[in-house]
Structure 1
């Protein structure tokens, strides 16, 4: 039985802790914050409840597998998990309004044809078929296996783009999400739909490889799911599963150093000087922070995938509304920006957009409101991280929140008349709560683009030190974080010979 120290209590870190404890190891988690969950936080006021992180779960099989493998109670006995149908409603600047059914390719095609014109659904369906090919080619090496030493093989884009012939009569393959939208989808609204998926995951449609097509494929194939009481309940269930497996937690315990002995990780040192010995250490945060915790050396070796630029963050507005949620209200509405190019440029150049794409969440969940005479609504936009933009500037924050509320009016027409109060969370707040640099949110790993969208491997150049969570392979997002926990546990239990789940 080995002693394992886990640094951080985000979803990837707790997923690894639960699996390692079931494997017979003694696991202790040290968390600098006062609670567990990482990005899956919660804000409560006057009987209203809001998620401060992701609002929906995609690819729930990851957590179903985790709960089956770590205890007798399956996921659905620990949380009330329900599909969201329709999965999303989309409002475009020209007045087009289309709702996409949950996990039904045929119904999505029909809905797009009805709203955008005959042929639009077929083009989207053909695109999803190509996206399925990319998913099938990369699912195992990108999501279910540790990052291979020859990770460069994933630098080739697996998306089978449609050939296009240019004036100079040279065949060229689409290389980015933006090119797919312009050439293969043809309709600017379909292009905006595709680009909104990329941007929501913190990817720039102008440079993200065509392989990002797996993101809408994943959502529209495996569905969108909501946890009653908010997504924080998923973190609560995983925390309780860890406790049931005898994982120990210490909150308000900041790790300042990873100790070494005989050339391998040997434990951690806390800010109060306490030294905790361990046979292995799992780091559940941005690996860039390890340079100051491991004798000043980087955790990755020359030739490994190195962390990329700091990605964007999220600007969130919580709205407490008087009046009940109207019948037939859609859970998730996306109000598209009139200028997606300017929006992406602002988010990735360190500026603030005049009119971003807004995601409006209106869950039909009594737990989120004081009674049926009120409604809790969340607005979210992808924005530049804190630093390039000063998200502590109160005047800027107020103007941006006002602009998001105005942009959300097509989805919530009576918002102004019903508003009781609002609360705002910026990337600066995310940085303070989670320790993520600039309040950035890690995107999922993607094949293509010569490996620029891969994440640092779960193993490091220091034996016994492993990386879990959204900042490590296979990247950000609830499902991907859960996968990282499974990979780390496999590497600890089976060693370097571990090749992923079968």
Structure 2
């Protein structure tokens, strides 16, 4: 489908799925915009509301009332019900639910407010950094060095130091202490609690930290032969049995034939060299899942049969990044990946505040407000910067 073009997407859906499907999807995005307008500031641009229970209780998505013959009126309360009651067409429903799955969420459990996920993509588009996220990290690192920021790599933090009732620095594995007026932690809640000696990082009346989350399996493929002109950048190869896939993920098992996102970027900085192509496969899997090589081989064969012709013959080499690799790199239990914060659902889909129970200690990244994903995690950094510079009264956008 076209990128960031409502009209183009509607035309593409009509051509692929039948007349009227494009209008139905467009109407849905209009309702999703209302949810976005109601939650954009409190769930992205502002520090967490002290009365966060309001966001937990109110569903911002204006679900349509649906009445069928001899049945009571129904309104969607979950994203899956939005697809069932409002989109109806099975392939449109699969499209909608794929946004939840990509975020590690179950469409049958997540509130209807998750409609903002496809809205954001269809409104603001999908963008990539040339050279990949490593290039973005390198650019940020270079800018920080220019601003005289000092980096210390390969030094494990074993304890957050407290003094006079506030965070005062970090103790390293070698026993040395780095003193600081403010400590900013971008780590999972369980890891943060451990660094505090088992003390709960957030007050009891705040949003409780999320301890669950799906992980990702990444297969990085280097291929012989150039990327053909006109190749689609992103293809979602849906599972033939979405119900079985959800059940497997909920039970902590690898799905037999999972949904696979296939990325084929037109980026010369990501390929092994001239005359080659780079392809990335992404699958949502349970946190902590062990992934046998045979499972990866089946993924490659499925993608070769449906998306990338002659894939197996073109493979120069491949690298697999499993949940275990993510856990080793980040310390996050099971290699789980946090989802963005969502309203409603009793607050289950919110993340704890950037301020903690310990003055001087701030939380950033996907496991704190406003949740996971590059834009949300980036905003957490902006919010914490505001709290440090302007003080506890800082609220974000005005």
Q: TM-score, normalised by structure 1?
A: 0.77
Which residue of structure 2 aligns with residue 110 of structure 1? 11
What is the CA–CA distance in structure 2 between the aligned matches of 1:371 and 1:274, rounded to whole Å? 44
Q: Which runs of 4+ in 1 moved over 4 A?
A: 166-169
Which residue of structure 1 aligns with residue 371 of structure 2? 475
Which residue of structure 2 aligns with residue 154 of structure 1? 55
Which residue of structure 1 aligns with residue 337 of structure 2? 441
Q: Does 2:296 correspond to 1:401?
A: yes
What is the CA–CA distance in structure 1 between the aligned matches of 2:13 and 2:126, rounded to whole Å? 18
What is the CA–CA distance in structure 1 between the aligned matches of 2:319 and 2:81, rounded to whole Å? 38
What is the CA–CA distance in structure 2 between the aligned matches of 1:345 and 1:261, rounded to whole Å? 48
Which residue of structure 2 aligns with residue 427 of structure 1? 323
Query: Which of 217, 237, 241 is the aligned partner of 1:335?
Result: 237
Higher relative contact order (CA 8 A, sep 6+): 1
> What pairs with 1:128-207 in structure 2 (closer than 5 Å)?
128-155=29-56, 156-165=58-67, 169-207=71-109
What is the CA–CA distance in structure 1 between the aligned matches of 2:184 and 2:68, rounded to whole Å? 50
**Conserved? CA contact 2:262–2:281, under 8 Å:** yes
**Conserved? CA contact 1:358–1:407, under 8 Å:** no
How far residue 208 of structure 1 moved from its aligned partner, in angstroms, is 0.8
What is the CA–CA distance in structure 1 between the aligned matches of 2:272 and 2:256, rounded to whole Å? 34
Higher strand share: 1
1:273-294 per-position Cα deviation (integer Å, ceiling 9, x unaligned):
0112211111111122122222
1:152-191 per-position Cα deviation (integer Å, ceiling 9, x unaligned):
1111110001112367753332111111111111111000
Q: Which moved more, 1:155-164 or 1:300-309?
A: 300-309
Q: Does 2:267 correspond to 1:371?
A: no
Q: Any idea what SS the aligned residue of 1:250 has?
A: coil
Q: Does 2:332 correspond to 1:416?
A: no
RMSD across aligned C-alpha pairs, in angstroms? 1.3
1:90-110 per-position Cα deviation (integer Å, ceiling 9, x unaligned):
xxxxxxxxxx10111011111
How far residue 467 of structure 1 moved from its aligned partner, in angstroms, is 0.2
What is the CA–CA distance in structure 2 between the aligned matches of 1:123 and 1:159, rounded to whole Å? 16
Q: Which moved more, 1:163-172 or 1:196-205?
A: 163-172
Which residue of structure 2 aligns with residue 266 of structure 1? 168
Q: Any idea what SS the aligned residue of 1:496 has?
A: coil
Q: Does 2:171 correspond to 1:276?
A: no
Query: Which of 157, 160, 169 is the aligned partner of 1:255?
Result: 157
1:220-260 per-position Cα deviation (integer Å, ceiling 9, x unaligned):
11011111112211111111111122111100111111111
What is the CA–CA distance in structure 2 between the aligned matches of 1:298 and 1:403, rounded to whole Å? 43
**Conserved? CA contact 1:313–1:427, under 8 Å:** yes
What is the CA–CA distance in structure 2 between the aligned matches of 1:291 and 1:217, rounded to whole Å? 35
> What pairs with 1:236-255 in structure 2 (closer than 5 Å)?
236-255=138-157
Any unmatched runs of 5+ in structure 2? none
What is the CA–CA distance in structure 2 between the aligned matches of 1:338 and 1:198, rounded to whole Å? 17
Query: Which of 109, 112, 131 is the aligned partner of 1:210?
Result: 112
How far residue 341 of structure 1 moved from its aligned partner, in angstroms, is 2.0
Query: Which of 28, 38, 43 is the aligned partner of 1:127?
Result: 28
What is the CA–CA distance in structure 2 between the aligned matches of 1:173 and 1:185, rounded to whole Å? 13
Which residue of structure 2 aligns with residue 86 of structure 1? none
**Conserved? CA contact 1:310–1:437, under 8 Å:** no
Q: Any idea what SS the aligned residue of 1:381 has?
A: strand
**Conserved? CA contact 1:445–1:476, under 8 Å:** yes
What is the CA–CA distance in structure 2 between the aligned matches of 1:247 and 1:340, rounded to whole Å? 47
What is the CA–CA distance in structure 2 between the aligned matches of 1:320 and 1:278, rounded to whole Å? 44
What is the CA–CA distance in structure 1 between the aligned matches of 2:273 and 2:196, rounded to whole Å? 51
**Conserved? CA contact 2:191–2:332, under 8 Å:** no
1:106-134 per-position Cα deviation (integer Å, ceiling 9, x unaligned):
11111101100001001100000000000
**Conserved? CA contact 1:361–1:379, under 8 Å:** yes
Any unmatched runs of 5+ in structure 1? 1-99
Which residue of structure 2 aligns with residue 231 of structure 1? 133
Which residue of structure 1 aligns with residue 388 of structure 2? 492
Q: Any idea what SS the aligned residue of 2:122 has?
A: helix
Q: Does 2:2 correspond to 1:101?
A: yes
- How many aligned residue pairs are there? 396
What is the CA–CA distance in structure 2 between the aligned matches of 1:372 and 1:343, rounded to whole Å? 38
How far residue 337 of structure 1 moved from its aligned partner, in angstroms, is 0.9
How far residue 345 of structure 1 moved from its aligned partner, in angstroms, is 2.2
Which residue of structure 2 aligns with residue 452 of structure 1? 348
How far residue 321 of structure 1 moved from its aligned partner, in angstroms, is 1.3
**Conserved? CA contact 2:48–2:353, under 8 Å:** yes
